[in-house]
A and B are shown apart, each in its own frame.
Chain A
Amino acid sequence: MKRGIISKIVLGLIFAYLFFPIVATLLFSVATRWSTTILPEGYTLSYYKLLFSSPEFGHALLRTINVSFATVILSILIIIPSMYLAIVYYPRLEKLFEILSILPFAMPGVILAIGLIQMYSRGPLQITNTPWILIGSYFVLILPFMYQATKNSFRTINVKALTEAAMMLGCGKLETFIKIIFPNVLRGVISAALISVSVLFGEFVLANLLVGDNYETIQIYLYKMQKVDGHLANALVASYFMVILLMSLILIWLAFRRETEVRGQKTEAR
């Protein structure tokens, strides 16, 4: 009984610790003046209006969307078929995948960026300060998320048996992948993509060091705004938070649906 109360208090404190900054950010983004009072003196949506009507914001957002989606799509096109081939034809390569997918965690962004700048700031492949280097480095950055999330999907189906069953019916290899394997790992791919996009939306270190002003992403824009106008920056953070929240909710929904489906399967089998 006593224990229950203590754990509730601890949970409440943690929640407050996480929640207050967000509420404060939200409030500040709609406050007219807020310096000596506990709550803002007045409320306005003008910062949002300003933010969404600023062409600079629109361009930065578009750049981030472009580079994130390009990376995620490229990553899906390369990683999913590779994993499939590894599972069915070269099981030994799966270990290599596992190691590759942990490697990016071991490399701090700054070190990665300096290495990349040294490598790509002169020929033959001079791509620093272009979005291409961002796509390349982001590809590496999201590899762990793409790999882990889709690996679980591959685990839920018997990839090898399904492939052989399709082949026995005269189905070619590519067709088998497109018609049988991909639809069955699609949900994992979607959650991998959502996680990756939210990671990339928040990425600042690599973007700042590798392309900086030459390809101003939403995080670089935010960094600049913080120095100019706090209210505007907060409006930006609040909008960003909403987008991430939405993506997280979709993720939770996907995960929940999968769970109920699996449970449904088990009861059916009985």
Chain B
Amino acid sequence: MSYVQVVNIDKSFQGRQVLKGIELEIEKGEFVTLLGPSGCGKTTLLRIVAGLERGDGGKVIVNGREIIEGQNKKEQNIGMVFQSYALFPNMTAFENIAFGLKIKKIPTQDIRKQVEEIMDILSISGKENNYPHQMSGGQQQRVALARALVVKPDLLLLDEPLSAVDAKVRESARILIRDVQKKMGITTIFVTHDQLEALVMSDRIVVINAGEVMQYGTPEEIYRRPANKFVAQFIGTYNFLPSSLVGIGDKETEICIRPEHILLVSKDQFPQIGNAEGIKLYGTLENFYILGNTARAEVLVQGRTIIVDHLNRFEGPKFALKEEVGLLIDKKVCTILGR
């Protein structure tokens, strides 16, 4: 039996269904991300798992114990970091972090030791006596994380904790959260609408759309084998091409190809390279821009724009706009979407 089980959770607000038969199993120590567009029900699901909201049907079991809304949370031992952090404004960083331990009636010397330890791990030592409004967003977020972690919860819930900090801090915070989670072995459910964040941090990702689980799998599976068109469109970039254009599959099916799997070559070179397995297309280069370490070309093929990505190397081929170019696609990388 899994460490966390979410069984057939439904939830409606004012007659509008926002969660539909959610099923999830999470193993001990796993880092699972709920990923989906805003408004798809991520926060609601997290709140039901936390016991802050009651589901209309179904149940949640954490470490063998059923979570009941309204029941005293002392027993349930679930840590939560809120989107707004919800630090207690009348308490210093130290008092905020120590709060859960005090409730548990841990002796004062032990509290001091444990708080100092977690503050050290999260590199916020020295901020003990600062009030929340005297700290930056990134520091507040780490205090909120420390407050949830210091009680060593069975399950840690994080609701978009990185959405309010700037890009640089966000990148380092991703790594920090993942490192600490691994080090302490804490089973974690993380909520985000940022696909990159989900791919970088997670053991497994739950893709949610309109209150339904679209796919549950490792980042690799989600990226390579999207279960349906929603996942394919939501994660990364895909070219959706009719089967007639690439000449595989039957009529009506759609073929998805990642831009990085298409090779852009000059027209003269084209006949010599590739093999029988390769699909060869001709088109005109419509647009070309640099994304950073990759560069992107937009090629018009029979009235359709195909996106092609390649590493942005200095010695890479140079093409002029409106030049006729060739595209080489390996049949193995074509994904045929189930309806």
Contacts and interface: CB of A to CB of B under 8 A. Distances in A.
Interface of A: 157-158, 161-162, 164-172, 175, 180, 183-184, 261, 264-265, 268-269
Contacts of B224: none
Interface stretch (B28-36, B55-63, B73-81): B73-81
B86 A169 contact: no
11 contacts: A157-B89, A161-B84, A164-B52, A168-B78, A170-B73, A170-B103, A172-B72, A180-B88, A183-B90, A268-B133, A268-B134
Contact of B136 (A167, A264, A268): A268
A169 B137 CA distance: 22
Contacts of A162: 86, 88
Nearest to A162: B86
Nearest to B89: A184
Judged by DSSP, the binding face of A is helix
Contacts of B72: 170, 172
A171 B72 CA distance: 8
Given A157-B89, A184-B89, A268-B133, A169 B99 contact: yes
B142 interface: no
Contacts of B136: 268-269
B147 interface: yes
Chain B CB count within 10 A is highest, among A157, A165, A171, A175, for A165
B88 A165 contact: yes
B82 A171 contact: no
Given A268-B135, A268-B136, A167 B73 contact: yes
A166 B95 CA distance: 12
B88 A168 contact: no
B74 A170 contact: yes
Contacts of B256: none
Contacts of A161: 82, 84, 86
Given A161-B82, A161-B84, A184-B89, A168 B50 contact: yes
